[in-house]
């Protein structure tokens, strides 16, 4: 009888963990449709302008939610504030601008596939900040992933044959975005220990606005909306869809799932993001994956597979 009770309890514990993981997968998959809207918007607006307008739309949606959960703000201390700045200024503002700039100046598939390095940043930070155990042989696995990153960025050439080309610049920006998003995953998981996922999602968007206003103002680029009313309406529709689908909806699903998922596991679930993006690029933008990208992708995926399997064994033991 006691055995049955323990088994039932284990099933109840496992169910939300699994559903949380798949919510993260679904939320991250929605990020993959982001370039579909963002590339169209880049024809009329700069990267900073797009991200600013996107966050204005998200502010209008998030403000009522934050007001409903305003009581949670009383318990925010310096550590939570620092984590919120990483999530909002780093993950929501700076990373999104870098990603948008990378899309405008480089190979779309390389930019998206480089996001597969995000788990390495997140797992390392989770080990340091959240005390989540690193998998065995993490160092050699990083070396394999870096080799894959080189192939995604520079192809077969050695050493650093394309470092001065646009793909090299865009790859660096994509790597910066991956690092910031990895840090944002860890800080988001930390915040969810004391806040509801709706509150974290709202603060992520709202706190990013002041920084985005400053960045856009310092950029000094004119607000050009060429093509008449029809073009302006198309920009507005794309901006709204981009903000609400890969923006608001994806983050609500993501943080809901993250509340019951380890940061190190969640960041592996986020690999649905580049996979969806590559499929969109193939179908919509006719961008095929090159052989070096396939090899690089395989190397990164191999390292992540071993990290994931060893993380699972550690969780089973614990």
Per-residue pLDDT tens for 212-221? 999 999 988 8
Q: What is the pLDDT of residues 256-298, one digit of tens each?
A: 888 887 776 776 677 777 777 777 878 887 877 778 878 887 8
Q: Does residue 13 fall inside a structural domain?
A: no
Instruction: Please give the structure tokens belonging to residue 6.
Output: 């323990």
Q: What is the pLDDT of residues 120-145, one digit of tens each?
A: 788 778 878 877 776 677 678 777 87
Q: Does residue 309 fall inside a structural domain?
A: yes
CA 167/CA 106 separation, integer angstroms: 5
Give the number of domains in the chain.
1
The reported pTM is 0.70
- Using CB atoms within 10 Å of the CB of residue 101, give its burial: 0 to 12 exposed, 13 to 18 middle, 19+ buried: buried
Residues 6+ apart with CB under 8 A from 75: 194
Q: Does residue 193 fall inside a structural domain?
A: yes
Confidence check: pLDDT of 309 > 70: no
Q: Are 29 and 276 in contact (CB under 8 A)?
A: yes
Q: Does residue 15 fall inside a structural domain?
A: no
Q: Does residue 22 fall inside a structural domain?
A: no
Q: Quote the domain boundaries for residue 167.
A: 34-317
CA 279/CA 286 separation, integer angstroms: 10
DSSP 72: G
Q: What is the pLDDT of residues 157-172, one digit of tens each?
A: 665 444 444 456 788 8
CA 21/CA 262 separation, integer angstroms: 9
């Amino acid at each position: 009888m006691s055995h049955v009770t323990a088994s039932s309890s284990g099933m109840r514990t496992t169910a939300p963990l699994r559903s949380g993981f798949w919510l993260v997968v679904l939320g991250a998959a929605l990020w993959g449709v982001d370039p579909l809207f963002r590339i169209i918007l880049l024809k009329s607006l700069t990267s900073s302008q797009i991200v600013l307008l996107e966050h204005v739309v998200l502010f209008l949606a998030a403000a009522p939610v934050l007001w409903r959960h305003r009581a949670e703000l009383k318990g925010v201390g310096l550590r939570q504030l620092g984590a919120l700045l990483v999530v909002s200024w780093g993950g929501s503002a700076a990373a999104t601008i870098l990603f948008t700039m990378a899309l405008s100046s480089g190979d779309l598939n390389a930019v998206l596939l480089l996001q597969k390095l995000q788990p390495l940043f997140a797992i390392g930070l989770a080990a340091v900040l959240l005390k989540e155990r690193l998998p065995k042989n993490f160092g050699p696995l990083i070396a394999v992933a870096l080799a894959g990153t080189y192939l995604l960025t520079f192809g077969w050439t050695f050493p650093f044959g394309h470092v001065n080309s646009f793909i090299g610049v865009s790859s660096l920006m994509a790597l910066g975005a991956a690092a910031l998003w990895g840090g944002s995953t860890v800080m988001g998981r930390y915040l969810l220990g004391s806040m509801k996922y709706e509150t974290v999602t709202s603060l992520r968007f709202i706190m990013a606005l002041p920084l985005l206003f400053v960045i856009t103002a310092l950029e000094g680029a004119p607000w050009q909306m060429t093509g008449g009313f029809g073009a302006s309406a198309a920009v507005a529709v794309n901006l709204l869809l981009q903000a609400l689908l890969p923006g608001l909806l994806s983050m609500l699903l993501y943080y809901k799932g993250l509340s019951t998922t380890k940061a190190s596991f969640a960041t592996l679930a986020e690999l649905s993001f580049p996979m969806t993006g590559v499929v969109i690029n193939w179908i919509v933008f006719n961008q095929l994956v090159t052989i070096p990208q396939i090899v690089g992708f395989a190397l990164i995926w191999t390292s992540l597979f071993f990290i994931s399997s060893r993380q699972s064994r550690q969780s089973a033991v614990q």
